[in-house]
């Protein structure tokens, strides 16, 4: 059964990684849900899938995919979709997400995976192709997808939609929703500050239609050395700028499920729980002000 969230509620979860398997199963419930990378559980058996099945008995699970390549010119491989559908049927996630990027390409007639989330040109041609991919995946899985904005590091001169406008149009065409990663916006804003393609966190959030966002990601990143690009490494607590953006997003989009991401230099479980508590406290205070 698919879960729903009332406007007055806020669900705050954390990304679940292997070092915290024991914590999530043995400690009292302190977060509302967990999110995992789908591809890590594609095996038909094994310890990881066994743990996730046990976790699912206690927590709602969000499946966050990284390898569909919805913005690729190549179609999402059917073998990949079949594995994802098998996992979906076993776990019954309450959310399913992917990224607005490309990952698949051809080399010497062979389909290859980039191993990274590569940016796309925000054009009508890309929008048309990606909309068809999203429709195909949603129809195959029988699930709504939530599409995440990425840290891009490069921009295309031919892009004539902003990323926010592109995602809004994509969702309008397909019935998908947006996964709003506020740290990714902040990273892009810092890396492209002063250019024609620069967009602040506030402007980005305001450009997305009310009702378009179904989940929010919060993360932190390492401060770059002078003159270097900011890299979205998910290796630090959520930054002050991202917390400010989160408050703005709550005011605009309401109480959507919120996730703390932390992938590099992984801290103790208690640190993740504290970050989730901070997000919940900020959300409650912000939504209380909104209702006045």
Q: Per-residue pLDDT tens for 74-92?
A: 889 999 999 999 999 999 9
pLDDT score recorded for residue 154: 66
3-state secondary structure of 37: strand
pLDDT score recorded for residue 106: 57
Q: What CA–CA distance (Å, rounded) separates 274 from 257?
A: 17
The H or E element spanning position 225 is none
Burial class (CB within 10 angstroms; exposed 0-12, middle 13-18, buried 19+) of 207: middle
pLDDT score recorded for residue 153: 65
pLDDT score recorded for residue 2: 40
3-state secondary structure of 218: strand
pLDDT score recorded for residue 130: 96
Residue ranges in the chain whose pLDDT is less than 50: 1-7, 104, 194-197
Residue in the structure block whose two tokens are 């066994």: 50
> What are the structural domain ranges in the chain?
12-103+114-291
Q: Is the domain defined by 12-103+114-291 classed in CATH 3.40.605.10?
A: no
Choose among 62, 51, 84, 53: nearest CA to 2. 62
Choose among 217, 130, 207, 216: nearest CA to 176. 130
Provide the whole-model pTM: 0.90
pLDDT score recorded for residue 46: 77
Q: What CA–CA distance (Å, rounded) separates 114 from 2?
A: 32
Distant-in-sequence, close-in-space partners of 201: CB < 8 Å, separation ≥ 6: 182, 185, 186, 189, 241, 242, 244, 245, 248
Tally of CB atoms within 10 A around 212: 19
């Amino acid at each position: 059964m698919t879960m729903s969230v009332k406007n007055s509620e806020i669900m705050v979860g954390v990304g679940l990684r292997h070092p915290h398997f024991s914590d999530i199963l043995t400690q009292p419930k302190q977060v509302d849900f967990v999110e995992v990378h789908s591809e890590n559980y594609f095996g038909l058996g094994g310890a990881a899938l066994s743990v996730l099945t046990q976790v699912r008995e206690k927590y709602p699970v969000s499946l966050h995919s990284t390898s569909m390549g919805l913005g690729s010119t190549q179609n999402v491989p059917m073998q990949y979709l079949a594995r994802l559908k098998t996992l979906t049927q076993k776990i019954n996630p309450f959310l399913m997400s992917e990224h607005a990027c490309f990952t698949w390409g051809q080399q010497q007639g062979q389909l290859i995976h980039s191993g990274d989330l590569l940016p796309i040109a925000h054009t009508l041609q890309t929008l048309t192709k990606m909309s068809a991919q999203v429709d195909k995946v949603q129809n195959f899985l029988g699930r709504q997808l939530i599409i995440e904005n990425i840290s891009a590091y490069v921009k295309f001169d031919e892009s004539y939609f902003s990323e926010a406008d592109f995602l809004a149009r994509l969702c309008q065409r397909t019935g998908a929703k947006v996964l709003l990663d506020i740290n990714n916006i902040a990273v892009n804003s810092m890396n492209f500050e002063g250019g024609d393609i620069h967009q602040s966190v506030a402007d980005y959030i305001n450009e997305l239609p009310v009702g378009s966002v179904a989940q929010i990601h919060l993360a932190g990143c390492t401060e770059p050395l002078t003159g270097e690009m900011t890299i979205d490494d998910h290796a630090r607590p959520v930054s002050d700028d991202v917390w400010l953006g989160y408050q703005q997003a709550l005011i605009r989009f309401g109480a959507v499920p919120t996730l703390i991401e932390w992938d590099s230099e992984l801290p103790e479980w208690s640190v993740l729980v504290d970050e989730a508590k901070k997000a919940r406290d900020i959300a409650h205070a912000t939504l209380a002000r909104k209702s006045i």
